[in-house]
Structure 1
Amino acid sequence: MKTLVWVEHDGAAVKDATLAAVTAAGKLGEVHLLVAGAGVGGVAEQAARIAGVTTVHVADDAAYGHALAENVAPLVAALMAGHDAFVAPATTNGKNIAPRVAALLDVMQISEILSVEGDKTFTRPIYAGNAIATVTTSDAKLVLTVRGTAFAKAAAEGGSATIEAVAGTGDKGVSRFVSAEIAKSERPELTSAKVIVSGGRALQNSENFHSVIEPLADKLGAAVGASRAAVDAGYVPNDYQVGQTGKIVAPEVYIAVGISGAIQHLAGMKDSKTIIAINKDEDAPIFQVADIGLVGDLFKLVPELTEKL
């Protein structure tokens, strides 16, 4: 079975989400990668060094410069004539492209797989992760998105794949890139951080969030996350959100400060190796999944913890 993997990149480097997708694809058979974008020769060379990859297809065209799904999906659908499966990481781009590919191929998409049980059998979470479904498809072509936290990352070095240029399908003219406002931070990226400190609505306002959470995160070299309630209240930007409708994370250590533990938030972080919860409500649901729980006033406990570090 030949599997085509969408390479998530920023125009200069391959993102970690791709490495987990490569691992998942490797369980299906031969792994090919697709690097699409404008001026992506360097990305293709980096992708070719990923262990386990045999071929890197490169579509270097301005039409793919911002990964507009309306342009990328027809390219993938055309390449699927020579592939049996399309795999994309369950990132914003991946979840935008994959459904369109599935529609063009007239097959169903299997979303956010957690494991590969057979050539056409997979597991995936349902009901916010409270149940795991085993799904078998009879479709001739597979379209899958991969939950990156469920698979180990393939080695970024050690491979020597062949790089092949492919003809693009051009700009379909149904969407256009207008602008991007990208938040820059010196902290680790949320989805790849080993330590995450997240804050909830109990922090009361944006000023408290920054003054309580960020010093602790800085001491630990951690990324900063937030519950949906904190994001909706305007404490922090949307890209901080962890949960079912935010980012799925699985760091070595996850510190939940003032987060009650709604099911939607737990769906995004319960695979963390060690979960530490700080909350004044001893009956908060977060304590049911926490490895270490600290009951008390976060405005006293967190600064004290930060000072002792």
Structure 2
Amino acid sequence: MKALLFIETDKEKVLGGSLELISALKSLDAEGTALIVGNRTAADTVAALGIPVIFTDAATDCDTLTEVLSQTVKEENPDIVLLANTVLSKNLAPRIAGRMSLGCVSDVIGVTKTDGKVMYTRPAYGGTVLEHIEVEGTAVVTIRNGSFPKPESASNASVTEKKIEIPEEVIKAKIIDTVKEISESVNLEEAQVIVSGGRGMGNAENFKLVEELADVLGGVVGGTRPAIEEGWISRAHQVGQSGKVVAPKLYIACGISGATQHTSGMSGSNYIVAINKDEDAPIFEIANVGIVGNVSDILPAMIEEMKKAKAE
């Protein structure tokens, strides 16, 4: 079985979700080649993890990347094309699949191989069920961040530089100017610890306890839609269907009832701690540890204990 991995970068850095594709590849015991566009430093980084790299110095707009990937898929003829489930790749995957008449599966959280056939698992209906999908022929697959661990170091692999010609007619849109929105930069997708607050925090003053606990733990602050709409924190911190999908090692849900719209965005967390005064709150059904009580009483005690533990 042969796979092509599209490795996405942010300036000089390889995105963590793209690195996890290497672990997904190894779980299938498949041969793989990585494709990196426009970032030579990132190509060396991935090659150092033992994956052969095809590097091409091309533009990174969606039309160009679609053409680069399409040409590479034709040349490499892989059984699987793996991409991280980012905004860019969620745009690229269906384009490539449609152009080349391939199967496409998005937001995959697990892959298994039995008798040479690969089964892709992904959440459906807001995460309330899991569906298992098998694709005939080559499949274009996006993998949800946090579904696989980061790869370990391995012996260096090769980097092959290729010149890929991009026909003018494939470029349907050209970026003539970019206006960067001045907003808070929040990297929820790659955070290892997230402390989130919901409607149950009550007010903006209480929500500061969520921020303080996140700071003590060296984590990132998240929030539900009601917390965002109340103005307690900016929309950049929203976790859920209309926000970010996250999978940290530790997720602490404070005053969050556990509506599907929120839990579908954080149910992939490795360890979930839930704090809610309603013992029947749905969030306790997916939590590893549930604390029944008022968050305004519990959070100060947690913050104090965490500070003591760090001081020791």
Does the pair score TM above 0.5?
A: yes
Within 5 A, what are the aligned runs for 1:23-172? 23-26=23-26, 27=28, 29-37=30-38, 40-51=39-50, 53-54=51-52, 56-61=53-58, 63-64=59-60, 68-82=61-75, 83-84=77-78, 85-113=80-108, 114-117=110-113, 118-138=116-136, 140-156=137-153, 158-169=155-166, 172=171
Q: Quick one: which amino acid aligns to residue 296 of structure 1?
A: G
Q: 1:205 to 1:6 in 2, by over 3 A?
A: farther
Paired residues, number = 297
Q: Quick one: which amino acid aligns to residue 32 of structure 2?
A: V
- In the TM superposition, residue 208 of structure 1 has moved relative to its aligned partner by 4.2
Post-superposition CA distance 1:177-226 (Å, at most 9, x none): 623337566x8x422333210111233455543x2211111111112111
Q: Check if 1:298 corresponds to 2:295.
A: yes
Once residues 43 and 92 of structure 2 are traced to their aligned partners in structure 1, the CA distance between those partners, rounded to angstroms, is: 19
- In the TM superposition, residue 156 of structure 1 has moved relative to its aligned partner by 4.9
- In the TM superposition, residue 73 of structure 1 has moved relative to its aligned partner by 1.1
Once residues 170 and 238 of structure 1 are traced to their aligned partners in structure 2, the CA distance between those partners, rounded to angstroms, is: 39
Residue 190 of structure 1 is matched in structure 2 by 188
Aligned-CA RMSD value: 2.4
Q: 1:182 to 1:192 in 2, by over 3 A?
A: farther
Once residues 248 and 60 of structure 1 are traced to their aligned partners in structure 2, the CA distance between those partners, rounded to angstroms, is: 31
- SS of 1:149's equivalent? coil
- SS of 1:78's equivalent? helix
- In the TM superposition, residue 59 of structure 1 has moved relative to its aligned partner by 2.2
Once residues 219 and 58 of structure 1 are traced to their aligned partners in structure 2, the CA distance between those partners, rounded to angstroms, is: 41
- SS of 2:4's equivalent? strand
Q: Check if 1:15 corresponds to 2:15.
A: yes
Once residues 182 and 168 of structure 1 are traced to their aligned partners in structure 2, the CA distance between those partners, rounded to angstroms, is: 35
Q: 1:182 to 1:87 in 2, by over 3 A?
A: farther
1:254–1:276 Cα contact (<8 Å) kept? yes
- SS of 1:150's equivalent? coil
Q: Quick one: which amino acid aligns to residue 215 of structure 2?
A: D
Once residues 161 and 179 of structure 2 are traced to their aligned partners in structure 1, the CA distance between those partners, rounded to angstroms, is: 31
- SS of 2:74's equivalent? helix
Once residues 168 and 44 of structure 1 are traced to their aligned partners in structure 2, the CA distance between those partners, rounded to angstroms, is: 20
Structure 2 length normalisation: TM-score? 0.85
- SS of 1:80's equivalent? helix
Which is further off, 22-31 or 97-106? 22-31
- In the TM superposition, residue 253 of structure 1 has moved relative to its aligned partner by 1.9
Q: 1:8 to 1:156 in 2, by over 3 A?
A: farther
Residue 179 of structure 1 is matched in structure 2 by 179
- SS of 2:261's equivalent? helix
1:20–1:153 Cα contact (<8 Å) kept? yes
1:5–1:32 Cα contact (<8 Å) kept? yes
- SS of 1:22's equivalent? helix
Q: 1:204 to 1:168 in 2, by over 3 A?
A: farther
Q: 1:240 to 1:161 in 2, by over 3 A?
A: farther
Q: Quick one: which amino acid aligns to residue 150 of structure 1?
A: S
Q: Percent identity among equivalent residues?
A: 35
Residue 200 of structure 2 is matched in structure 1 by 202
Runs of 4+ in 1 over 6 A off after TM superposition: none
Structure 1 length normalisation: TM-score? 0.86
